[in-house]
Structure 1
């Protein structure tokens, strides 16, 4: 089944989510298992240290006891060397053992008994050595034969043996725990690796499948576009011819309309002159008893002049509309001339031309141009900017100084975007598209006009290969956005060097 863009995105997202969760799980499990293994390792190290300390203590006690017995039997001071060497070490080992057993309250009593027994045994050995040195060997033997020192030593050995046995059991358990933790860590790593491998394989499959679909679609598009350029040129030519016919038709129609309009305006002037004479005659003639005289006088002095004024207003309005259509028709027939145009220079010149009108109301026009030169028709772009600036001045908000900003920047597609922003009275949302229609105007009409300015702007901008839109908030201002190609020749289908 072909993989669509939506399927590709979903499958990739799912695979990434699974991979992320797997990775987080692996990392979390590894951290936990490593911490656990470290705990078991620390326990093993502590056990080994404790075992070494207790074994050293037992060895030192045995060395002291051996030295004591050898001296009593032989009275040779050489036998006391192990005794003297081990004596200070026993106290150090007891202190170290106390530190090791401090975290275990249950070991406090047995350890106290061990210290008592060791102290008693050392004291007994010191007394026997002292008696032997004074020449009283029998007294020393008698002290040994009381077996109190032996019992203390036996209890110490029992403590040491039990302690060593407990430590060995703990070491065995710690090593087993370490081994099981390492085994678990191994399986977690293997399982996590397999999951990540599956996720990566799925992602690779999705990418390959989607790439294949894109390549297939690209080939189909290329095949479909094989003759597209020719068809586009043909249709563009047809549209151009149709547009020329429409413009020619508009030109002919307006000329044909102007002829009867001129006649109407001429006859209206003659009629107005005749009615003037009639009104003068009727006003000068004294009142007559004829019942129709009053009606005739009212018609000659009031009704007919008012009707003539209405006819004149209508003919002037129609003449303005015909001129507007002719203007748009002539503009459509004008041959565009692509040339290098500096938008900054164009905007500054257009602003300078209206500086006096803007400055009268303490307004200003700012220019913020961030593009260089473009290839377009200078006259058309001048007229577009001029119309938009005229509109901004015409429909400014009387309660605040006018502020207009002209901006230009690059946009994707090798195009530029020109904005003309004002703080005027704004345009209602419902009229954002309507104002570009011919003879249509927005809002309260306090200024004269035929409603062709923005329609003319859109016509010129579209002839330049672009479009014009707006965004506006009623009462706050309006921004007109003009989007144009950087090179008009690409729109006209011509070529050449800039």
Structure 2
């Protein structure tokens, strides 16, 4: 057993070490993805700023030509407004390409061409206002026409350079995302392997305990010393299992929280990228179909799958922790009026019963000397399950009966619900196992917890049922746990 424990602890420790490494790698990769996303966003902002400047330049030329054809003051106001906007637009563009000498030179040339363009616009409009130009203006001979073509060519050159950068950055981002997904998948696989190894070791330990119990049963009654020694060994092994299950389940949460946190980081990173793609499309920029699918469908879907898996793993770990804590809780036997106890449980469910139009009938029940918390958990679970797995075409009715048989108390909880297939009567008490249609929330923990608690109270539980014919859960437990009642029957 000690050798197995050392091997197990070594394997689990190695698994957690690998998970820590995978978590660190994931954090680094998420940071890389965030950096690449910021660069892609920067390129898109440059494209938008350039597009805005080109629009202002084209609007100015259009207003000029309109004024030359019809000297309306509205054209003058339009050009003055455009002139006020061009300065900030150029400054914004210059600040965004400051780290790129080639683009900085192009922006300088663009500013010079735009400055000359605006001077000629005002000059031609002044000549037209003074009637120095004819009504029919030959625009093709005008110097401003050449300047607007220069502005367009410079803008295209800037746009081509930025799109080249954008394509490179998008490719780097995709590569980082692919590596990130691979690392996350590896971390999930390691987590599953560690959990599977823990379950396998626990199963082997439980089998060893069963063999030890059989051996104790075969000992001679006169070998009291040997019996006491075996009992001590058995208790020590059981405590080791409880501690092991608690430690492993507790430590599994740390890497799981990391994965959930990194998933949230990735999800937060996608939102601004998606908004930028939307704005780019609204601005008339070409965005590849692959990029749109990656931002709007592929990445959110992958993150959704990761989040659902981690949430399920979190629920399973919590269940193992809860069962482990319950197994280590010290029982506190006390006199209990079972009729009063069941009335309290029914009272707490009264609101739900009224909504469903159902009822819980409690016959007079025998009193026990047992653990109140354990009994409340057992009967609350059974009544809650009866209401949860009801049949839609009839109101739920639950009956609780009980009587004494010698030193034991027998209870039956009967419902008129959907019933349980006979082949599943045993498996429904297994941890994480469920029966029938999976149309109700749950992880298959409740009945496993009930059976574990019934065992601790010195009892057994069984099920009798058929499909669409309701179910009866029968419990047989010690009526008095004040002395040796906590031992198994």
Superposition TM-score tier, normalisation by shorter sequence: 0.5 to 0.7
CA change 1:232–1:343 in 2 (3 A) is: farther
Aligned residue runs from structure 1 range 322-361, under 5 A: 322-361=317-356
- What is aligned with 2:416? 423
Distance 2:218 2:300 in 1: 72
Distance 1:361 1:493 in 2: 40
Q: Do residues 448 (structure 1) and 444 (structure 2) align?
A: no
User: Any idea what the Cα deviations from partners look like across 1:151-175, whole Å, max 9, x if unmatched?
Assistant: xxxxxxxxxxxxxxxxxxxxxxxxx
Distance 1:400 1:389 in 2: 17
Of 425, 429, 433 in structure 2, the residue corresponding to residue 432 of structure 1 is: 425
Q: Do residues 265 (structure 1) and 240 (structure 2) align?
A: no
CA change 1:310–1:400 in 2 (3 A) is: same
Aligned residue runs from structure 1 range 168-183, under 5 A: none
Of 368, 388, 398 in structure 1, the residue corresponding to residue 392 of structure 2 is: 398
CA change 1:278–1:394 in 2 (3 A) is: same
Q: Is the 8 A contact 1:282 1:301 kept in 2?
A: no
SS in 2 for 1:252: helix
Distance 2:451 2:378 in 1: 8
Q: Single out whichever of 361-370 and 299-308 deviates more from structure 2.
A: 361-370
CA change 1:376–1:282 in 2 (3 A) is: same
Of 374, 377, 380 in structure 2, the residue corresponding to residue 383 of structure 1 is: 377
Q: Is the 8 A contact 2:333 2:371 kept in 1?
A: yes
Q: Is the 8 A contact 1:283 1:301 kept in 2?
A: no
- 1:323 to partner: Cα distance: 1.0
Q: Is the 8 A contact 2:280 2:286 kept in 1?
A: no
SS in 2 for 1:484: strand
CA change 1:430–1:272 in 2 (3 A) is: same
- 1:289 to partner: Cα distance: 6.3
Of 464, 468, 471 in structure 1, the residue corresponding to residue 461 of structure 2 is: 468
CA change 1:288–1:435 in 2 (3 A) is: same
CA change 1:321–1:358 in 2 (3 A) is: same
TM-score normalized by structure 2? 0.52
Of 405, 410, 413 in structure 2, the residue corresponding to residue 411 of structure 1 is: 405
- What is aligned with 1:138? none
Of 285, 309, 318 in structure 1, the residue corresponding to residue 304 of structure 2 is: 309
SS in 1 for 2:484: helix
Q: Do residues 274 (structure 1) and 269 (structure 2) align?
A: yes
Distance 2:364 2:225 in 1: 38
- 1:491 to partner: Cα distance: 3.0
- What is aligned with 2:222? 226
Q: Is the 8 A contact 2:381 2:447 kept in 1?
A: yes
Distance 2:227 2:401 in 1: 33
User: Any idea what the Cα deviations from partners look like across 1:390-435, whole Å, max 9, x if unmatched?
Assistant: 10111111111111111111124x1111111111111001110000
Of 239, 246, 258 in structure 2, the residue corresponding to residue 251 of structure 1 is: 246
User: Any idea what the Cα deviations from partners look like across 1:230-259, whole Å, max 9, x if unmatched?
Assistant: 544433332222222111111111121100
CA change 1:339–1:307 in 2 (3 A) is: same
Of 480, 484, 487 in structure 1, the residue corresponding to residue 477 of structure 2 is: 484
User: Any idea what the Cα deviations from partners look like across 1:293-315, whole Å, max 9, x if unmatched?
Assistant: 32122111110011111111111
Distance 1:493 1:394 in 2: 33
Distance 1:237 1:465 in 2: 19
- 1:471 to partner: Cα distance: 0.6
SS in 1 for 2:439: coil
Q: CA RMSD in A?
A: 2.2
Aligned residues between the structures: 269
Q: Is the 8 A contact 1:254 1:326 kept in 2?
A: yes
Q: Is the 8 A contact 1:251 1:329 kept in 2?
A: yes
SS in 2 for 1:369: coil
Distance 2:227 2:383 in 1: 36
Distance 1:347 1:475 in 2: 26
CA change 1:230–1:367 in 2 (3 A) is: farther
- 1:278 to partner: Cα distance: 1.5
Distance 1:492 1:302 in 2: 56
Q: Highest CA radius of gyration, 1 or 2?
A: 1
Distance 1:222 1:320 in 2: 41
SS in 1 for 2:309: helix
Distance 1:275 1:469 in 2: 51
- What is aligned with 2:103? none
Distance 1:424 1:232 in 2: 47
CA change 1:493–1:362 in 2 (3 A) is: closer
Aligned residue runs from structure 1 range 1-80, under 5 A: none
> Structure 2: which 5+ residue stretches go unaligned?
1-216
CA change 1:222–1:244 in 2 (3 A) is: closer
SS in 1 for 2:472: strand
